[in-house]
Structure formats: structure tokens, C-alpha cells
Structure 1
């Protein structure tokens, strides 16, 4: 898209101020364009989490009931590959947008590809199914990193509003995830799987329409980047200082432990989804209603809404008292909470005998586990992003974010592989033993981090 398509005044263009905002307003209130990006992201996450809630269950459901009849091992393996690649392609999509496309064009391209992917999944044919997954992976790579980048560009350097803007934007992500699991999940389980996939695609189309209508609010933000004069380009080749090397060691260490966190946390869409579907009593007598298994995928988003303000106030309070834990310790706390969540499932599943195909475990156990896992996420995910940004040398920020998201990709893939053991272990041992695997991984990881926390804190050289 050319800049001529978006007539803006010189002052707005020069300072990247969104169209319709006065320069004096820039650091006093959020621009309208933030809320336009909020709803665009909300609808994209509606489509992603709506489809994610359905994928594993669709794969394991009998062919006679409209599913594909896969084993749990095969289904969760595919789930792990899909969710892993979703974290890899944004690195490529972000690079292409930075160098060639511009953020706006990348978001449009990504949104269209995502909508086409959901449309393909709505068709009952295996070639269409695999095509749909491939399109979703590619489309997310174009869409996800670039809409987030535009949020940051709405504000001048050093703006006090930037942190709260990302908080608002993060709420859009969770709002979309919450309703995506509820609406697409209900349609998929109660009406037909392909209806659920189709509803996810409609959500993405709605997001694209409102982005197209509201894009004039962005001013010059997100347009195609100007060509780089290669004769004047300077490539920094400064060697790393000892402080920089030490801080990079911390990023790599925390990235490794994030792999261990996500491989357990992401059981939500695979083994815990299967547990909800096959082994949980979801019937509410006084309502005469069976809760769809996919609805448990919205519990994490619900607890994000309710618990995030508490955690924000907690960190502020601890900072004032000079008791705020350093980053490595917050990661360790996250892993402890994750382990406790799986302890809840170990206890809840203890009544399921070896070899059982179904059971009627209370919904309480799953909800309680999701609450603890969400508390762990709030200790790790935002902290990790912040520390990658603070600890990375400016010339390596992009690379280190690639490392961070690469760790998430590995965690998702390994989590899918481990989730495939649920069927085998429920037949040969017990369901409790299966969940005990994740208790062990998370607990041992937390212990190691607590032991080496002081060393890692020293390597951060004063970064808080």
C-alpha cells in the first residue's frame, strides 16, 4: 500500500502520530487506533483458540461421530507440531514485514491466509484438512508479530502509556480466546466439528473487515518501509562485552526452563482436553446440561482476567517493600505453581482404575488445576518477555526474541509428544501416573532454578 492512499498531515507523518490525534494528546490518552487493533487481535485470537480447542478432540473422535478416529498419540503429535510451528513462522513473518511488506500489508496477508485455512478445515476431506493447518501456520506467521509491533508504534519513545496499552491489548487476546473456545467449541461438539472450524474463520473475517475500515486511524504507521540505501548501511560487528555475554547466558538459561514450562502448560489443548472429554463428569443436573469439553479451554482466559490485576498489584507492593523476587525466582515460582496444578490432577484422577476408557471425575479438579497453571503463566510469560528485552544488547534484540519464541515452539512440540502417552499409560498404569510425569518435570526444574537463582541474578548485572 502506498502512502498516498492515506492522506495525513506533515506533523502526524513526521512523528508517527495516528490520524485524528493531536500531538498534545499523544501521551495523555490512548488513541482510537489502539482499540481498532484491540478488536482485530481479539477476532484473530478468537479464531486461533476456537480452532485449538477443537483440534485434538476432532482427531480422536470416532469416524461414526464425525471425527477422524486417530489414536491419542497421533493426535497429540500433530497438535504439538502445529502449535510448535505457529511459534516459528512469526520470526519469518516479522522479518518480511520489517524489510519488504510493512506491518499493515503483512496483517492483511496473514488474516486472509488464516481465513482461508479455517475455510479449508470446514471442508470434510483429508487433503483440505492438511491444507487448512498449513495455511493457519503460514497466516499466523504474517499476522501475529506485526499487529503487536503496530501497538508499540502508536506511542512516542518513552511514553508512559505504552505499558498500559499492551495490557489493554493483552486483554483483547484473552477476550478472543475466552469466546473462541466457548462459541467454536460448542458448535464443534454439539452441532458438527466443521461448523466449529467454520465459525473460527468467520471470526477472522470480522477482524479483517474492521481492520480495513479503521486503518486510516493509524496514520503512517505500518506502511511499506522505505528502501534502504545499502551504500550507507552500517553493520555493527562489535564484540560482546563480558556483561553482555553474562546477560545472554541468563536469557538462554531462562529460555531452556521456559521449554520445560510450556511442554507441561500446553497439555491444556492436548492431554487435559482429552481428560475433560473422556474422564470428566461434565453434566450439571439442575441445568440439565452437559458442559462441552472444549469450554474448559476458556478457563485459562477467565483466570487471566480475574488474577492479572492481583499479580500486578502484588509485584508493585513487593517492589515497594524491596521484596520483589528476581526474574529467575519468578520462573521457579511459576514452575512450582505448574507442578501443584498437576498434583491436583494426580489426586483428581486417582479414582480412575487402570484401563478405564471413560470416567466421571468432578469438574472441580480441572478448574482448580487451570487456576494454578494460570497463576504460573502470570509469573513467567510477561516476565520472560520483559527480561529478553532488558537483557539483550540492542543489536541482538530481534535474535534473542527469536530464541525466546523458538523455545516456546520446542516446548509445544515436546508437550504434544508427551501428551501422546496418555492413552498408553491409562491402559498400562494409571491416569494419575501420567500426570505425575509433569509434576516431576516442573518440580525438579523449579528446584534447580531456586538453587542457581543467585548465580543467574549475579549474571544479570543489576537488571531488575
Structure 2
């Protein structure tokens, strides 16, 4: 890392700058996940459709037909899921641009501020009440989404890097620091679902977006007001302008070992597409199922549907140390990376088996609501799958990618994750046509088949890694940091 150091000063044995970054990221995640929790609800309302110009004619529905109202509602939900999928895909692609800008032009600190301001403006654009922008609602909506996508690209890839820069090479506090940081991410997402979700569903969706914007504003103010004091010179200067000077190595063709490792990255990336295509139903089809087909009434009070989204971050906090301890206790019997990927697929399949149970409970009777525990179980299984699959992903790329293609292959990893989000939308749209039973059942079968295939391929994939699989975390702090790291790219 750079010789530049932040000013002295610690809290609980860690640099004060860690808790500044913790707070900044917590507010950003509150904004991002809060908006995500109510997005499809907002887009699938008749009121939003009216101001956006999405009438029955827009979807080719005959308004005089007996089932026109039902078809219209299904079309609005399908349209909402499609827009969410495209948004989520682009959110994963723009960090490649944002990372390059930080490394070569702005530095990390400026990129974070620019990203935060853009996201704040994006939330405010989405949340501007319709009565103040009559006739301009579509412009404000699309501009708001564009600002959120660009802002995320500048923010997402840079703040985590700065956490590592707070510590000298070899400092054994670094693993614990990342665990603390990732807990901030999960707390922010819980806060977003609880606060933004409640305001959005119980008062007005646009007030929910405005609240998310205020959360991002707090993160920007925190960074501007205290970064100079607690971060010193860290993150100011672009870092990627330095050249290794090894021109011969950069021009050399890939060795057989390097080509094998690239094959592993591409094959594992393909399976992540399948995983995220199922997992990301959470914000789309499963969120709508929770809203319209699940009994959310508890002791006479109806819980906001978006609150169910808190199950994932809450159980990450609870289960990450458990998974870390389990892997550590298994020792030599610990599954290799591809087998952990396969276990992730199996848990994903079990989650959708639970959703099949929910679909069977309601059947074709629109008056019957599924029990909330079906969805809670589904989210818990999905979290277990995420803990098996996602933590090793970026670590695997960093270990296997040839040096001269490291950035390209990391970008490809994000590209596959983004494609998985778009595929999730295409699958989620089938709920309105094929129905929840067929759609959720199909995803469960797809996940189980993918898991079996990956398990059978695992030994060959490990061979192609040529020893990189042997470099695993060996301490509890390292294990927990690996498990918790999933939150940074979800």
C-alpha cells in the first residue's frame, strides 16, 4: 500500500477511519436496499402507471375484456420486474468504469463523493411528488434511474479498497476490520428495508425514495466532514498510474497453467449466472408474492412486505460466523471451492422448494394467502446458499486470474453477475403467465441440476486451478471475513 498514512487515533483497537467508512457505507446501503425493497411495488401501482403512460393499450390489452383488470395488473408487475432486472444488471457493470476512473483520474475519495451525490440526486428524482412535475414524470424517473446506476458505479468499487489501505501489509487486524465493515453493510440494508420500506408502503412510495435520498445525503456529509481528519491522504491520489515496468511479462502469451485457470473462472462464472438468476427473485417475483399472496398480518397488524427482505442480511450476520467455524472445524474435510458452489446451488433449490410449498398452499384461490414462514424459510435457505457460493467468488478470481488480465476478468465476473440479474427478471416475468408454482418449481429444478453438474465437475476444476485452491483462510478472523464479504457485491 502507499506510504501515506491517516492521522493517529483508534477506536476499539482499529483506526478511526474504519468507522468513518463503516458509517458511509451503511448509509449508502440503506439508500440502495431501501429503494430496491419498494421499487417493484411502486412501478406496479395503477397510479404510477397512469403518470408514466402505461395504460392498457400500452400492453395491448382490450379494456372491454372480462379479465382486463387482472391482465393489466399482471402486465404492470411483469413490466416492473423487467425494469428492475435491467437496472440491477447495469448496477453490476458500471463499477468497472468507476473503478477505472478512480484508479486513473479521480482517486477513490473523489469517486466516492461523486458517486454518493449522483445517487442522492437519483433518489430525489424518483421521489419528487408527481404533483410538482406533472407531465414530466417519465423524464424524472428515467433520469433518476440513470443517476443511481452511474453513482453506484463510482461508489461501489472504491470504498472497500480504502478499508484495506488503512492497514500496513501484514497487519493482522485487517481481517477483523473487513468483518466490521461488512457488518455495517448488512446493518445498512436492514435499516433500508425497515425505514424506507415502512415509509414507502405505509405512507407513500415517493416519500420512501426521498427518505433513501436523505440517507445517501447523510453518507456524503459524513464523508465530506470527517474524511480529511480520519483518512488523511488515503484515497486521494489515483493508484493505477504506477507501472510494474515488466513489459516482457505483459506481452508474453498465457501458459498452459494460466489458460486452465482462466477456464475455471469462466466455468464458475457461468454457474453464478444460474445462482443469481434464482437468488435475485428476492427483489422481484418473491417480493411481489410477499405483497399480494402472503399473509402478513401479525396480531392484527399488517407487516410491510419489504420487511421480509431483512431476513437475508440478518441471517448473514448470524450465520457467517457459524459457517466460518464449520469450515475451520472440518479441516482437511472442508469442501473445495467448486463443491461449495454446488452446495450453494442445492440450498438455492431448497429455498425454491419452500416457495413451491407456498404456491401449493394458495393454489388457484386468490382469497387464500400463503403462510409467512414459507418465505422466511426460502430466504434463510438462499442466505445459506449465498454463504456457500458468493464469498469465494472474488477471491477465486483474484487468485486465478493472470496478472495482465486481472482487471478484465474481474470485470467479466461482474458482467456475469449482472447478466444473472437480468435473467432473474426474465424468469420472474413468467410468474404472471406460467404461475408461481411452475416458475418457482422450474427454478428449484434448475438449481438442483446445476448443483449436481458442478459437484461432478469439481475435481477437474480443482486440477485446473494448479494449486491455487490450497491457499485458503486458516484463522477464524480470515474465515469470517471471507463469509461476510458476500455483502459487498450483492
Q: Decide: shared fold, TM above 0.5.
A: yes
Q: Residue 260 of structure 1 is aligned with which of 243, 264, 274?
A: 274
Q: Residue 218 of structure 2 is aligned with which of 182, 206, 225?
A: 206
**Aligned-residue offset at 1:440:** 1.4
Gaps of 5+ in 1: 1-12
Q: Residue 136 of structure 1 is aligned with which of 133, 143, 148?
A: 148
Query: What does residue 222 of structure 1 align with?
Result: 235
Q: What whole-Å deviation, never above 9, does each CA across 1:282-316 have from its counterpart, x for those lacking one? A: 0012xx21001111111111111111110111111
Task: Say if 2:302 is the partner of 1:290.
Answer: yes
Query: What does residue 8 of structure 1 align with?
Result: none
Query: What does residue 186 of structure 1 align with?
Result: 198
Query: What does residue 411 of structure 1 align with?
Result: 420
Matched residue pairs, number? Answer: 439
Task: Say if 2:18 is the partner of 1:18.
Answer: no
Give, in whole Å, the separation in 2 of the partners of 1:434 and 1:231.
51
Task: Say if 2:402 is the partner of 1:393.
Answer: yes
**Aligned-residue offset at 1:230:** 8.9
Q: What whole-Å deviation, never above 9, does each CA across 1:147-191 have from its counterpart, x for those lacking one? A: 111112112223322222222111111111111011101100110
Q: Residue 411 of structure 2 is aligned with which of 402, 415, 419?
A: 402
Seen in structure 2, the aligned counterparts of structure 1 residues 395 and 64 have a Cα distance that, compared at 3 Å, is closer
Q: Answer whether contact 1:77 1:416 (CA < 8 A) is retained.
A: yes
Q: Answer whether contact 1:49 1:180 (CA < 8 A) is retained.
A: yes
RMSD between superposed Cα atoms in Å:
2.2
**Aligned-residue offset at 1:329:** 0.2
**Aligned-residue offset at 1:358:** 5.6
Query: What does residue 112 of structure 2 align with?
Result: 107
**Aligned-residue offset at 1:233:** 8.8
**Aligned-residue offset at 1:330:** 0.2
Q: Answer whether contact 1:66 1:193 (CA < 8 A) is retained.
A: no
Q: Residue 446 of structure 1 is aligned with which of 444, 451, 460?
A: 451
Give, in whole Å, the separation in 1 of the partners of 2:243 and 2:394.
32
Give, in whole Å, the separation in 1 of the partners of 2:316 and 2:240.
42
Answer with 220-229 or 187-196: which moved more: 220-229
Give, in whole Å, the separation in 1 of the partners of 2:240 and 2:468.
36
Q: Answer whether contact 2:103 2:240 (CA < 8 A) is retained.
A: no
Q: What whole-Å deviation, never above 9, does each CA across 1:66-92 have from its counterpart, x for those lacking one? A: 996662221111010000100000000
Give, in whole Å, the separation in 1 of the partners of 2:461 and 2:336.
9
**Aligned-residue offset at 1:367:** 0.3
Counterparts of residues 273-422 of structure 1 (less than 5 Å): 273-285=287-299, 288-319=300-331, 322-354=332-364, 356-357=365-366, 359-422=368-431
Answer with 392-401 or 122-131: which moved more: 392-401
**Aligned-residue offset at 1:395:** 2.6
Runs of 4+ residues deviating >4 angstroms: 64-70, 226-235
Q: Answer whether contact 1:110 1:141 (CA < 8 A) is retained.
A: yes
Q: Residue 161 of structure 2 is aligned with which of 149, 163, 168?
A: 149
Q: Answer whether contact 2:126 2:145 (CA < 8 A) is retained.
A: yes
Give, in whole Å, the separation in 2 of the partners of 1:230 and 1:254.
30
Give, in whole Å, the separation in 1 of the partners of 2:232 and 2:246.
27
TM-score, scaled to structure 1: 0.90
Instruction: Look up the SS of the partner of 1:398 in the other structure.
Output: helix
Query: What does residue 75 of structure 1 align with?
Result: 80
**Aligned-residue offset at 1:231:** 13
Task: Say if 2:283 is the partner of 1:269.
Answer: yes
Give, in whole Å, the separation in 2 of the partners of 1:190 and 1:432.
29
TM-score, scaled to structure 2: 0.86
Seen in structure 2, the aligned counterparts of structure 1 residues 232 and 331 have a Cα distance that, compared at 3 Å, is closer
Seen in structure 2, the aligned counterparts of structure 1 residues 65 and 230 have a Cα distance that, compared at 3 Å, is closer
Give, in whole Å, the separation in 1 of the partners of 2:202 and 2:182.
30
Query: What does residue 9 of structure 1 align with?
Result: none
Seen in structure 2, the aligned counterparts of structure 1 residues 357 and 65 have a Cα distance that, compared at 3 Å, is farther
